[in-house]
Chains A and B, each alone.
Chain A
Amino acid sequence: MKISFLYLPALALLAACNSGEQAKTPAQTLAQTWPQVEAAGKGQPVSMLMWMGDPLINKYMSTYVKPELQRRYGIDLQLAASQGAQLVQTLAAEQQANQPSEADLVWINGETFYQLRQVNALLGPFVDKLPNARLLDLENPFINTDFQQPIAGMEAPWGNVQFNFIYDSARVAAPPKSFGELPAFVKAHPGQFTIPNEFTGMTLLKSWMIALSGDPKLFQGKFDEAVYKKWSGELWKTINQSKPYFWKQGKTFPEQLAPLHQLFANGEVAFTFSNNDAEVDNKINQKVFPATARAYVPLPGTIQNSHYLGVVRGAQHPEAALLVINFLLSPEAQLKKMDPDVWGDHTVLNLAALTPAQRQQFQQLPSRRYAPKRENIQGLALMEPDPEYMTRLFKDFRTQVLEK
């Protein structure tokens, strides 16, 4: 019965404040040779911040990647959920406080990459240091450019995906082949269409907006206010005209993707969407979607983008984080990840750089059955526009559609 109870938090604070060891500067970390990185990284814990909204992805990380890293390097990979502005905010606050970060490794792309670079929270350039970097398909503009920003070695590509529509072939015989046909279809089938108010939904809106403009080149380069105003205006007009025929008369929209998948599985809506072209296979395998679900890319095409891994500038275990990334880029880990039974995330490796045996494994994945063939949709791939388009669409979708 002493005041010690009250002082306890204060003591914990004091203890915590004195614990930081003398760490390497970012330049010193990056100056090390790979063997030095390996020596320093082995046996360390790595804290990784990632989107944790998909059970298969979480499973890939915790039942394959985590034990493999433990076995190979004695690395203890700790996964935590964080993404977007929340992630940027946390890292920025840590940096403002001038202290080492709680996170080592982050899974990012687009606007998060842009903002993290703005607040200088990323370590790098580091990609060249990785032995597996020579296998990467860095000539591919869909991989070496993240939302119109050159990755410049500050983040390593991890996977590449293309936005697609998923429908139930048992219920919808002839889905709309293009964005142009979509409004008529929605009107003819009221209550069967909705737009998720999150990342995937925003990719849908971007693809739709580019389709309306008829000229993808307009959206290349820096954000253009005039282009955005004109074509987002058209987009809201198109959507608001169809809105009465949306799910729940367009009075509300799902906030997350998983609930939309559920609506689709229960037959409440005719379409769900995915940023990942192979997701239809992985959801059928999990029995989340009916076996009659199919995926396709509507004309004139949809956005294809990549997602990346970055190292935090204030990371306490940057070397171990580099080892983790290098492992995630290995043909073995990439192949495993590409299997729709596991995750279905397309590889970022240049198949020509692999051995013939490895190449064959990548080309003949038996489990990719209902997803569109990559060769067939590559011609329908649109580049990601500047991240500003997405932040603006997200904001304006709320004011122009949701709240109307």
Chain B
Amino acid sequence: MKPLKPLLPLYALLVIGLPLAGLGYALLGSVGVVGPLAEGFTGRYWQALAHDTGLLYAAAFSLWIAVASVGISVVLALALVLRAQPSLRRTPLPGLLYVPLVMPALVMAFYLFQLLSRAGWLSRISFQLGLTGSIEAFPELVQDAAGVGIILAHVLLTFPFLTLLFQAIYQESRLAELSQLTSTLGASAGQFRRRIAAPLLLRRAAPTVLLSFIATLGAYDIPLLLGRPYPQMLSVFIATKLQRFDLRELPAAYLAGFLVAAGLLGLILVLLRLVNRGKVEAG
């Protein structure tokens, strides 16, 4: 194969150029220079940001969802890999864990809504069993204030994947052998898990965990179906602002889009550090 000279610049143009151009357009839109009703430069929307708590609230809510979802998933996955090694190797389990990987987020959200809403399947079954006497007696599990439904959906999608990932690292790093070694040296199983295995798994999986975290921060399909109109997650917040009745809200929407993208870019820089650190350690 000959080296292809223009290939990398072209790649950069497509992969970086287009999103950056979009970011620039959003920036211009937020100061009223471009857009359907643009009236020329104005700092109005940036100033209004100080009074508008909506974006901040959406960011805080997204952060909560992402921390809770990824946190619970990591804990579950670690627990499975460190405490249920024998079961993880038995036939049905590894295959089972792959099942959520084939579920689109939208389907997961639809399914959970049908299952958990107050008029959903569980509520109907509990009504038939006499556990609840009315629709209102069933607890609010989706479209709830704390985002329990959204978190549950993300955990169901993320924890099996992380379990498989941790398991792969566990085997690659020969942690089973290491465990035997440490036990002959007198360490307890708990000490091995806490001091050696868990830190190693977490460090090696850190980039992937952070990627899951970023993906959850920007989630759209799941909060769209399982969330409330308030508080909203970031992607839903921005898309709603862009698509609703008032065209004059567009600059504010562009501003929100710009700020969110800038914030996530910052997180990606952290990710790159993690990746590079991993490379230095490995190399």
Which A residues form the contact surface with B (CB < 8 A)?
1, 3, 6-7, 9-10, 84-86, 88-89, 92-93, 96, 111, 115, 118-119, 191, 197, 248, 251-253, 255, 262-263, 266-268, 390-391, 394-395, 398, 402-403
Residues of chain B contacted by A88 (CB below 8 angstroms): 36, 247
Q: Does B243 contact A (CB under 8 A)?
A: yes
Closest chain B residue, CB of each to CB of A202: B245
Q: Does B1 contact A (CB under 8 A)?
A: yes
Closest chain A residue, CB of each to CB of B140: A248
A395 vs B244: C-alpha distance when bound (angstroms)? 10
Q: How far is the CB of B55 from chain A (nearest CB, A)?
A: 13
Closest chain B residue, CB of each to CB of A247: B136
Contacts A88-B36, A93-B36; is A402 near B244 (CB within 8 Å)?
Answer: no
Q: How far is the CB of A91 from chain B (nearest CB, A)?
A: 9
Residues of chain A contacted by B243 (CB below 8 angstroms): 84-86
A10 vs B54: C-alpha distance when bound (angstroms)? 39
Residues of chain A contacted by B11 (CB below 8 angstroms): 6
A86 vs B242: C-alpha distance when bound (angstroms)? 7
A72 vs B36: C-alpha distance when bound (angstroms)? 38
Q: Does B229 contact A (CB under 8 A)?
A: yes
Provide a sorted-by-A list of 14 A–B residue pairs whose CB atoms are within 8 angstroms: A3-B6, A6-B11, A9-B14, A10-B10, A85-B245, A86-B242, A88-B36, A88-B247, A191-B136, A248-B140, A252-B145, A253-B229, A394-B246, A403-B230
Q: Does B37 contact A (CB under 8 A)?
A: yes
Near A by CB (< 8 A), chain B positions 1-54 give: 1, 4, 6-7, 10-11, 14, 36-37, 54
Assess the B230–A111 pair: CB atoms within 8 A.
Answer: no
Residues of chain A contacted by B37 (CB below 8 angstroms): 92, 118-119
Q: Does B67 contact A (CB under 8 A)?
A: no
Q: How far is the CB of A89 from chain B (nearest CB, A)?
A: 6
Q: Mark B159-179, 1 if CB is under 8 A from A, else 0.
A: 000000000000000000000
A85 vs B253: C-alpha distance when bound (angstroms)? 12
Main secondary structure of the interface of B (DSSP, over half): loop
Assess the B245–A6 pair: CB atoms within 8 A.
Answer: no
Residues of chain A contacted by B242 (CB below 8 angstroms): 85-86, 89
Closest chain B residue, CB of each to CB of A393: B245
Assess the A402–B135 pair: CB atoms within 8 A.
Answer: no
Residues of chain B contacted by A394 (CB below 8 angstroms): 244-246
Q: How far is the CB of B28 from chain A (nearest CB, A)?
A: 13
Chain B contact residue count (CB 8 A cutoff): 29
Q: Does B143 contact A (CB under 8 A)?
A: yes
Q: How far is the CB of B235 from chain A (nearest CB, A)?
A: 15
Closest chain B residue, CB of each to CB of A394: B245
Task: From B119, B246, B248, name the one whose CB has the most chain A CB atoms within 10 angstroms.
Answer: B246
Contacts A3-B7, A119-B36, A248-B140; is A402 near B245 (CB within 8 Å)?
Answer: no
Assess the B229–A268 pair: CB atoms within 8 A.
Answer: no
A398 vs B237: C-alpha distance when bound (angstroms)? 12
A267 vs B36: C-alpha distance when bound (angstroms)? 44
Assess the A252–B229 pair: CB atoms within 8 A.
Answer: yes
Residues of chain B contacted by A6 (CB below 8 angstroms): 7, 10-11, 14
Contacts A3-B4, A262-B119; is A398 near B246 (CB within 8 Å)?
Answer: no
A166 vs B247: C-alpha distance when bound (angstroms)? 32
Closest chain B residue, CB of each to CB of A387: B245
Near A by CB (< 8 A), chain B positions 114-169 give: 118-119, 135-136, 140, 143, 145
- Contacting residue for A84 out of B36, B143, B145, B245, CB 8 A: B245
- Contacting residue for A85 out of B140, B143, B244, CB 8 A: B244
Q: Mark B226-248, 1 if CB is under 8 A from A, else 0.
A: 00111000000000001111111
Q: Does B250 contact A (CB under 8 A)?
A: yes
A391 vs B229: C-alpha distance when bound (angstroms)? 17
Q: How far is the CB of B15 from chain A (nearest CB, A)?
A: 10
Query: 4 shortest A-B CB distances, which residue pairs?
Result: A92-B36, A266-B119, A86-B243, A252-B228
Assess the A115–B10 pair: CB atoms within 8 A.
Answer: no
Closest chain B residue, CB of each to CB of A395: B246
Assess the A402–B246 pair: CB atoms within 8 A.
Answer: no
Residues of chain B contacted by A402 (CB below 8 angstroms): 229-230
- Contacting residue for B247 out of A9, A85, A395, CB 8 A: A85
Q: How far is the CB of A201 from chain B (nearest CB, A)?
A: 11
A1 vs B2: C-alpha distance when bound (angstroms)? 11
Add 20 more A-B contacts to A1-B1, A119-B36 (CB < 8 A): A3-B10, A6-B14, A7-B10, A9-B14, A84-B243, A85-B244, A85-B245, A89-B250, A111-B245, A118-B37, A197-B229, A251-B145, A262-B119, A263-B119, A268-B119, A391-B245, A391-B248, A395-B246, A398-B229, A402-B229
Residues of chain A contacted by B6 (CB below 8 angstroms): 3
Assess the B4–A391 pair: CB atoms within 8 A.
Answer: no
Residues of chain B contacted by A119 (CB below 8 angstroms): 36-37
A390 vs B244: C-alpha distance when bound (angstroms)? 12
Assess the A268–B135 pair: CB atoms within 8 A.
Answer: yes
Q: How far is the CB of B53 from chain A (nearest CB, A)?
A: 8
